[in-house]
Structures are given as C-alpha cells and as structure tokens.
C-alpha cells in the first residue's frame, strides 16, 4: 500500500503569479527546493529557472517592473508575516532590499509601478504597528509619499493607474466591510478619498485599472448577497455591473478589450470571458479551484494556478487563440500514477432554522462501514473546496479506508453575505451547532461507523476541532488541532495591532466581551476532552500564539489525557518549510490510522510513541 509520502505533490505554490510585460514568462513562488523561492518559466513551456530565494524566507507576492528586466517581491521569515520588499534582476543578480528597516508588514500592490518604473506602491505599518499606511516610494531618490488611514481602516494598495496619476487602494474593516479609496498623486496635498461611501456599507473591493485610466474594476456585494464584478467610472462617479451571477465572482483580469473572471459555483471555479462586452468562448478546464489568474497583455492567453481533488495545484495556460488548455507543470506524486484519486460528492444536510449546510463528502472504495474524519476548514471566513487537500493527506486517508466530511458551516464564504456573517461574534455557537448536525447526518449513512469518529482542523478549524471534542457528546476516537486557538479571550488580546477592528467585529472585543469569549473557549470545557489529541504549533505564529496550544495541552496532561504536542521552532501560522509540512502530515496520518483503524494492541503501543 502506498505510504503518505507517495501522495505528496512534487512541489507546492504560493497563491501568486505574474506574467512578464511581453507575456513570455510567468513568475511564481514554489517550494520545490524546500523553501518557497521565486521562479520563472516560459509560457510556451520549458525548464523553470530559480531567480531568487532564501533559506529562511518565503516569497509571497510578485510583480514585474514595466521593463520586464527585474522583479519585485515580498518575503517573510519562518512564517512570521513580517514582510520585506526586494528587487532582483531577471537573471538573479543584484538582489537588494527596498526600504530596509525594522520588521513590519509590507504588502505590495497588485500593480505596484507607474509606467516609468520609478514609483512603487505598497502598504506598511512601519510608522505605527496598529496602522497600515499607503506608501509611494521614489526608487531613484528613495523619498516617500505616505498616506495615513482613517481610524479603524486598514489600507491595502491595489495599483497605480496606467497614466501614473492615481493610487487605488482598499480600506478594510472586516471581510464584509471593504471600501475603495483613490489618491490623486498629481496633487501634493492629496489625501485618500473613499469613493464608495455614498453606496453604503458592504464589499467594494477594487481589483485593477482600465487601460485608459478611466476607471477601475471592483468586486462588490452591492446588488445582492453574492459578489459581482463591476466597473467604477471616474468621470461619472458611478459603478455599473459587469457580471452578477448567483455565486461569488472571485478573480478578475483585463487586457486588450478582454475581461476574464472566475466564479465560485458551489466551490468549483468556472471561468467566463468577454471581448468588448461580447461573450468569449473558453477552453474547458478541469473541475477545481483557481487561486491566481493573469491575462497576457495582448489577451492571447491567460495563466492560472489551478487545483483539483484529483490533481495537485499546477500552473496552466489557457490559449484563447487556439482554444486549448495545457499544464505548464506536473506535480503529480507517484501514487496518482497507480491509483484513481477520489473526488468528493457535493451534499447538503439540514441544520437548525431551516438552513441547509453544503459539504464535501469523500467516500472510500469498498462497502464499509468506514471510520470518518470531520475536517473543519480555517477562517472561519473561508470555504472547503474540491482541491488536492493538505498535500495529499485527504487522498492518503481515503486510500486507507477513512471517509472525510468537510462542511461549509455558518461563517463559510461562497454562500452569500448573510451566511458568512452568521458567525460574527458567535464563534462556538451556530458554527458548533452546524458541526453537530454534520455528525447527525453521518449517523444516517449505512456505510459509516459512528463509533470511529475523529475531527481535525487548522487555525479556526483547530478551535472548532477542540470545541467538538470538548462540547459535542459523541464517542470521539481522536482529534487534531493545528495552530488552533483554545482561549478566545487571550487570542483576541494577542492579535496583531492592525487587526483590532477586525477582531472586535468578527470575534468580539476583549475589553467588553471577555465573559462571552471565555464562555465559548474550548479551554473552559477542557475537562470534557477524553479522546487522544494531536496538537501542532508554530513557535513564530503571529496569529495564534503558541500560548493558545500550551493552555489546552497543559490542562489535558494534568488529567492524564493522551496528548502528542509537536512545536515547530521555525514555523509561523501553518507551514512554509516543506520538510516540516511533510513530517507533520505523515505524523497526522499515522495518528489517525492508529486511532481509527488499528487494533487494540496497536493503540496500546502507540501510547509510547511521540
């Protein structure tokens, strides 16, 4: 039987890519070398080439200079999310840091350069840890123009207009409260102006300029529960819809009169395009999820980063002229060449208040009855989607005979704003009730074994896993928490300064909601956890500090509950080091196999491991 490592993709990618100005090369971040480095590969196909990288840093965002001779990128150290800016020549020479200084969060604009390549736009909290400023840097003189955000708003630079006059940015308060801001750089006394305030609250998330600088494109829920693509006209000061499906538009790019966008239809990415307003036929793509998309300057092709349940994330080309889809990379691991991967079934199950919860159900081959892993996504404002999940861990567990149910409970994105907001300041409430109904649904299936049940999650999903083990009265066989909060009060107090408004809106203000946050914390119910638990934590995690895992581990070990606790000293929130990631997932596979499939003797032996 293939082991876990036989299911591991040959490489993984950060969700970023950038086409060169001539459309001949695509730049991306891959950890094929063991760390996420900056690579380029010809769009026509050929050998990838490493341009830059570090032993301890992860390349996150990438953009080309207008000349196409250099690239600018951000990178952080061991997942600490303190991003620094770098410039490097295409041949890998002349690597320099832009604006060196103290650690802070520097975010590169999506289109960061003016037409000359002299001015660079980004955001940083170097002035005040609690404020994300807009910055335009003159790369010739190293002088800065800085624009401070209004109170409670986190700026994110989106791009300089093609004529170099305007800086477009978003103003973030929460995932459901985003505004568009414009700064007139031709005015030496200009301040960022919110151009969507008259439209009311909601999502007005700008995503790029029209080629003639007449306006910009944005994603908005202004007209419905779902996110539409729209255009803001600078002269008329109005927005008009471009695409308003009954699902969320997620990614949009434009070039040479062509617009191409991705729609999240029940979790799967579906591409649409038009040319000068007329629908444009596109080649078929595999059923999966597109996390990055870039259209060539002449609109002859697009490059995407696409991931599916049956094939790991890959770079691929959509040739619009030839109407062809082709992969640029092949990351398929050995196991996928000898077995048929299992795609999930999209199901719904009933929850309280007459709601239905969407979920992905993976059924192993064979009649069963099969043990089941309840897998809870992070966020919570995220979505379980049909991808090659957790570096092949899903497919390996399925091959062992372990079924997986991955629900999109209250708070998940993709099902409308109202569904997303249900969890606001109600963590451990309606979401836990939805997970309870997930277990009730599983118990109705004749091919599942309700007495062999485990739960797993990372980040928010780790919090949910701990909540399930502590508060839902089922015969849990095991649980896995990866960087999962155990105490919502200490989590809220320790959150990054720039997140203060977001935390108060989504989780709860620790100064005014302390009692409520403690009442919903897994650590409060730690005595209810009796199942073996595996906890994984990054020592440099800036979002969920190690103290969150320490608290629950200490409480359980005091009662003699079996706990394996693995701390990774060179990781932050999740994994950036490939070796660490594979070690962790292989250990999780062994842990779940032991407690869901192994004999009693095997389980007894496992108590002395780790």
Helices of type H across 500-597: 500-506, 514-519, 546-558, 578-596
pLDDT of residue 103: 87
Location of structure tokens 């050929």: 46
Q: How many CA atoms lie within 13 A of 310 on its CB side?
A: 12
Positions of the chain with pLDDT under 70: 599-610
pLDDT of residue 600: 38
Whether 481 and 536 have beta carbons less than 8 Å apart is answered as yes
131: Cβ contacts below 8 Å, ≥ 6 apart:
125, 148, 149, 498
| Token reading at 444 | 């109705």
pLDDT of residue 610: 31
State how far the Cα of 481 lies from the Cα of 7, in Å rounded to an integer: 22
- Reference 87, options 127, 129, 118, 116; nearest CA is 118
State how far the Cα of 285 lies from the Cα of 282, in Å rounded to an integer: 9
Domains in the chain: ranges and CATH: 13-248 (2.120.10.30), 335-604 (3.40.50.1820)
Helices of type H across 428-459: 430-442
- In this structure, is the dihedral angle defined by the CA atoms of residues 474, 479, 485 and 489, taken in order, positive or negative? positive
- Reference 92, options 56, 53, 34; nearest CA is 53
In degrees rounded to 5, what are phi and psi of residue 505?
-75, -45
| Token reading at 29 | 């971040």
- Predicted TM-score of the model (pTM): 0.85
**370-376 and 448-458 beta bridge pairing:** parallel
3 state DSSP class of 595: helix
State how far the Cα of 194 lies from the Cα of 180, in Å rounded to an integer: 6
Whether 48 and 328 have beta carbons less than 8 Å apart is answered as no
CA dihedral 582, 585, 590, 594 (to 10 degrees): 170
pLDDT in tens, 525-537: 999 999 999 999 9
Put the strands of the sheet holding 13-19 in their side by side order: 13-19, 25-30, 37-42, 49-52
pLDDT in tens, 308-361: 999 999 999 999 989 999 999 999 999 999 999 999 999 999 999 899 999 999
């Amino acid at each position: 039987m293939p082991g876990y490592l036989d299911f591991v993709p040959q490489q993984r990618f950060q969700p970023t890519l950038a086409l060169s100005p001539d459309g001949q090369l695509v730049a991306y971040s891959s950890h094929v070398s063991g760390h996420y480095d900056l690579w380029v590969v010809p769009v026509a196909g050929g050998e990838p080439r490493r341009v830059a990288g570090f032993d301890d840093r992860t390349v996150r965002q990438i953009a080309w200079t207008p000349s196409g001779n250099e690239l600018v990128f951000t990178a952080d150290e061991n997942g600490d999310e303190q991003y620094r800016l770098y410039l490097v020549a295409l041949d890998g020479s002349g690597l320099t840091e832009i604006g060196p200084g103290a650690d802070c969060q520097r975010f590169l604009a999506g289109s960061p350069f003016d037409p000359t390549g002299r001015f660079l736009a980004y955001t940083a909290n170097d002035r005040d840890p609690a404020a994300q400023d807009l910055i335009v840097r003159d790369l010739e003189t190293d002088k800065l123009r800085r624009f401070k955000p209004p109170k409670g708003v986190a700026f994110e630079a989106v791009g300089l207009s093609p004529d170099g006059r305007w800086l477009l940015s978003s103003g973030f308060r929460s995932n459901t409260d985003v505004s568009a801001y414009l700064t007139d750089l031709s005015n030496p006394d200009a301040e960022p102006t919110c151009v969507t305030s008259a439209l009311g609250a909601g999502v007005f998330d700008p995503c790029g300029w029209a080629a003639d600088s007449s306006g910009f494109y944005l994603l908005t829920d202004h007209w419905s529960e779902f996110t539409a693509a729209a255009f803001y006209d600078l002269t008329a000061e109005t927005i008009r819809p471009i695409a308003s499906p009954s699902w969320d538009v997620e990614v949009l790019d434009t070039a040479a009169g062509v617009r191409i966008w991705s729609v999240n239809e029940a979790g799967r990415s579906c591409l649409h395009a038009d040319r000068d307003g007329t629908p444009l036929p596109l080649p078929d793509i595999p059923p999966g999820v597109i996390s990055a998309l870039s259209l060539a300057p002449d609109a002859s092709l697009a490059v995407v980063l696409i991931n599916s349940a049956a094939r790991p994330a890959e770079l691929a080309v959509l040739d619009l002229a030839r109407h062809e889809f082709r992969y640029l990379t092949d990351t398929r691991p050995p196991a996928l060449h000898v077995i048929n991967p299992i795609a999930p079934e999209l199901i719904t199950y009933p929850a309280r208040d007459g709601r239905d919860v969407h979920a992905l159900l993976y059924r192993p081959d064979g009649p069963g009855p099969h043990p089941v892993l309840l897998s809870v996504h992070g966020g919570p404002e995220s979505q379980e989607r049909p991808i090659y999940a957790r570096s092949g861990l899903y497919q390996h567990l399925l091959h062992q005979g372990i079924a997986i149910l991955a629900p999109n409970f209250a708070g998940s994105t993709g099902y409308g704003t109202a569904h997303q907001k249900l969890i606001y300041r109600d963590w451990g409430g309606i979401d836990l009730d939805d997970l309870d109904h997930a277990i009730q649904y599983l118990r109705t299936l004749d091919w599942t074994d309700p007495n062999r049940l485990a739960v797993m999650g990372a980040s928010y999903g780790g919090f949910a896993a701990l909540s399930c083990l502590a508060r839902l009265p089922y015969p849990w066989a095991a649980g896995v928490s990866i960087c999962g909060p155990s105490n919502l009060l200490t989590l809220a107090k320790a959150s990054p300064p720039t997140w203060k408004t977001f935390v108060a809106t989504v989780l709860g203000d620790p100064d005014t909601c302390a009692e409520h946050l403690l009442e919903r914390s897994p650590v409060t119910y730690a005595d209810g956890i009796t199942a073996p638990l595996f906890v994984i934590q990054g020592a440099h995690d800036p979002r969920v500090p190690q103290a969150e895992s320490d608290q629950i581990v200490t409480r359980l070990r005091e009662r003699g509950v079996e706990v394996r606790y693995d701390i990774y000293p060179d990781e932050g929130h999740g994994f950036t080091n490939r070796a660490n990631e594979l070690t962790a997932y292989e250990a999780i596979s062994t842990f779940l196999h032991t407690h869901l499939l192994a004999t009693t003797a095997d389980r007894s032996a496992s108590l002395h491991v780790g």
